[in-house]
Amino acid sequence: MLDGFPDKYRFTNDAEAIKELLAFLKNPQYQRIVVCGHVRPDGDCIGSMMAMYHYLQGLGKEVRIFARHMQMENLLAFLPDGQAPAEEYPTDFAADATVVLDISDPKRVVADFVDVTDRPMVCIDHHATHQPFADLCWVDEHAAATGELLFRLFDADNALTPEIASCLYVALISDTGGFRFGNTSSSALAAAATLVSAGAKPAELAGKVWGNVPRETVEISAHVFSHLHFEMDGAFVWAEITQDIFNAHGGEKNDPDNLSGEMRSIKGVQVALLLREGADGSARGSLRSSGKADVSKIVAPLGGGGHRAASGLEIPGPYAESSQKILAMTRSGLLAQLQSQ
């Protein structure tokens, strides 16, 4: 608990959040800061972490980035020099404070996250399923991306350097699918315009996010699209990527990005589910909705979370059993929602 605030305090408005978070980040007592993202970070998470990294470095802080299973090789170039992806939380860093980004559940950092860090902590997130766990929490489920919240924060401090603007632009285009998804709002577009004025280069950054796709990634996508399963008169489609498929195409580093979103774009589909088998036998489910069904409610019974149109979950193996649990949960949850429409 931080002095002057209730335990796990959640800000009630942007003005309060921006004022207090800037004070936290500039606090001279916090010179060594760990910036954490979620396991298998996406473009919003990596872009947000790197924007925070550059901002804190500009304040003269020593910063360490941490997120497990960084698999999107095209985005690894955004990581700071000398900070290779790590799987173990950096307990040797002796941080003064922790900043957590794009995370609704602390176990998405590491399973024992609340035990391995006892430093003052803030969290900035945009997931509707967020459960406050940090000392200070800024959560806006209406924001298109966590990067949009960081835009508001850094813009208020006149801190939008070309580096920070570029990172936040990557965050925005990643979570909005290049401004194609239903979470694209006027505020997200306005933020993007300001970021471009601050030095972000749209064509170059879009190329880094979606260009130079490895052949093996395309081959995995081809396998998925040739093995789609349609149910409920085409309202539900699902597919899976097993370890055999990953291993035949260079491993999980070649996992396609937003494949479940592409499955959702098929005419008539209301919910798409892509199952992935983890190396430890666990089952991961990535769900996308056309907007009519709320997939965050579908995944909740098995501990998943996210947004109305995009959610996910992971449960322990063995995969054959766990994947069937996810399939059964998705079928029953979607059917219940369809019947109530």
**What integer is the mean pLDDT of 233-254?**
96
Higher pLDDT, 88 or 122: 122
Question: Are 282 and 197 in the same domain?
Answer: no
The yes-or-no verdict on residue 289 having pLDDT over 90 is yes
* Co-location of 243 and 183 in the same domain: no
Residues 238 and 170 in one domain: no
Question: Both 198 and 238 in a single domain?
Answer: no
| Structural domain boundaries enclosing 195 | 9-210
On whether both 56 and 174 belong to a single domain, the answer is yes
- What does pLDDT average to over the chain? 92
Domain end call among 163, 189, 210: 210
Per residue in 123-170, pLDDT (tens digit) is 999 998 888 889 999 999 999 999 999 999 999 999 999 999 999 999
pLDDT, tens digit, for every residue of 247-286? 999 999 899 988 999 999 999 999 999 999 999 999 999 9
Query: What pLDDT band is residue 1 in, cutting at 50, 70 and 90?
Result: low
For residue 40, the model assigns a pLDDT of 86
Q: Is residue 1 part of a domain?
A: no
Instruction: Report the domain count for the chain.
Output: 2
Taking residues 44-71, what's their average pLDDT?
Answer: 93
Higher pLDDT, 77 or 67: 67
SS (H, E, C) the chain: CCCCCCCCEECCCHHHHHHHHHHHHHCCCCCEEEEECCCCCCHHHHHHHHHHHHHHHHCCCEEEEECCCCCCHHHHHHCCCCCCCCCCCCHHHCCCEEEEECCCCHHHCCCCHHHHCCCCEEEEECCCCCCCCCCEEEECCCCCCHHHHHHHHHHHCCCCCHHHHHHHHHHHHHHCCCCCCCCCCHHHHHHHHHHHHCCCCHHHHHHHHHCCCCHHHHHHHHHHHCCCEEEHHHCEEEEEECHHHHHHCCCHHHCCCCHHHHHHCCCCCCEEEEEEECCCCCEEEEEEECCCCCHHHHHHHHCCEECCCEEEEEECCCHHHHHHHHHHHHHHHHHHHHHHC
Question: Does the pTM of the predicted model rise above 0.75?
Answer: yes
What would the pLDDT profile of 301-340 be if each residue is shown by its tens digit?
988 888 899 999 999 999 999 999 999 999 999 999 988 8
In this predicted structure, the answer to whether residue 82 has a pLDDT above a threshold of 80 is: no
CATH number at residue 206: 3.90.1640.10
For position 262, which CATH number holds? 3.10.310.30
State yes or no: pLDDT of 73 exceeds 70: no
**Which of the listed ranges 72-76, 77-81, 163-167 does the model predict with the highest average pLDDT?**
163-167
Residues 196-224 have a mean pLDDT of 93
Residues 21, 154, single domain; the answer is: yes
Q: Does one domain contain both 229 and 162?
A: no
Judge if 161 and 52 occupy the same domain: yes
User: Is residue 335 domain-shared with residue 260, that is, in the same domain?
Assistant: yes
Q: What is the pLDDT of residue 91?
A: 80
Residue 33 resides in a domain: yes
Query: What is the pLDDT at residue 238?
Result: 98
Q: Can you give the pLDDT at residue 132?
A: 86
Give residue 287's pLDDT: 96
